[in-house]
Structure 1
Amino acid sequence: MVETRLTGRIFLAAATLAGTALAPALANAEPAAEANWSTLNLTVSSANRDEVPRNAVLNCHPAGGTHPHALSACQTLNAVGGDLTKLTEAQSTCNFIHKPVTYTARGTWQGRPVTFEKTYSNKCIADASTGKVFAF
């Protein structure tokens, strides 16, 4: 009986020491995982004051948020390392009607701050330039 209690206490002490030893390692592991997390607050606004700006939250690594095309948007951003200024206009048949639209992104990409704002001459050109990133 004494041996059972002694063995139990030794096991408990060993488990406590192991848990204490792992705590700093786990604490240091969290920032690395957090560094891969990416969250952008996206806004599409028009020069027309009658139109209400639209907003979405895009999470990447893993893809999610309120963005309806999160996976495609994250793939587009992965291709440019999260740098929205590197998004270029794809081939399109957009018209040249001047109806400005502003796309804004604020947040973090893999731990780095992101600030992006660009006004395009119309929504067609903006969408052709940014893919699914602002398609919400």
Structure 2
Amino acid sequence: MVATRLTGRIFLAAATLAGTALVPALASAEPDADVNWSRLNLSVSNDNRGELPRTVVLSCHPVGGSHPHAASACQTLSAVDGDLSALSEGQAMCTLIHQPVTYSARGYWQGRPVTFEKTYSNKCVAEASTGKVFAF
């Protein structure tokens, strides 16, 4: 009877250890559900006005965050595969007044890190170049 109890405890201990060893392996074997997850912290700062930067969070895949035009912004970013430097200057009639504005983005696009910062000569040029991405 003692041998039976001892054998049962040995099997229980072995099963517990085997299960504990498998948990990390199983966790890493699962597909990454967040591969297409995208989240960017966006900011707009007016260089010569002394204002605090405005910031929002933009989430895509699924669309959300605090961005007021998240769906349009995500669509614009999808067109350039999240590469904000690939956004080109759009067609707009802008004045030549020099009032620099800096747009920046930090975060992830479909699992890839994103870092972007660019200073435009004025808000009109910036908006023509980036569409709804920084429209907040």
TM-score, normalised to structure 1, is 0.78
Matched residues in 2 for 1:40 and 1:25: separation? 27
Secondary structure in 2 matching 1:39: strand
Matched residues in 2 for 1:27 and 1:44: separation? 41
Compute the displacement of 1:35 (Å). Answer: 1.2
% identical equivalent positions: 69
Partner of 1:124: 124
Partner of 2:59: 59
Compute the displacement of 1:54 (Å). Answer: 0.2
Matched residues in 2 for 1:72 and 1:27: separation? 35
Matches within 5 A, 1:1-136: 24=26, 28-29=30-31, 31=32, 33-136=33-136
Q: 44-53 or 114-123: which moved more?
A: 44-53
RMSD, aligned CA: 1.9
Partner of 1:11: none
Secondary structure in 2 matching 1:34: coil
Matched residues in 1 for 2:117 and 2:28: separation? 37
Partner of 2:6: none
Uncovered stretches (5+) of structure 1, i.e. residues with no partner: 1-19
Matched residues in 1 for 2:29 and 2:126: separation? 42
Secondary structure in 2 matching 1:81: coil
Deviations 1:11-53 (A, max 9, x none): xxxxxxxxx9xx9389612x2x211000000000011252121
Deviations 1:70-115 (A, max 9, x none): 0000000000000000000110011110000000000000000000
Uncovered stretches (5+) of structure 2, i.e. residues with no partner: 1-21
Secondary structure in 2 matching 1:67: coil
Matched residues in 2 for 1:130 and 1:49: separation? 21
4+ long deviations beyond 4 Å: none
Corresponding letter in the other structure for 2:30 = N
Secondary structure in 2 matching 1:102: strand
TM-score, normalised to structure 2, is 0.78
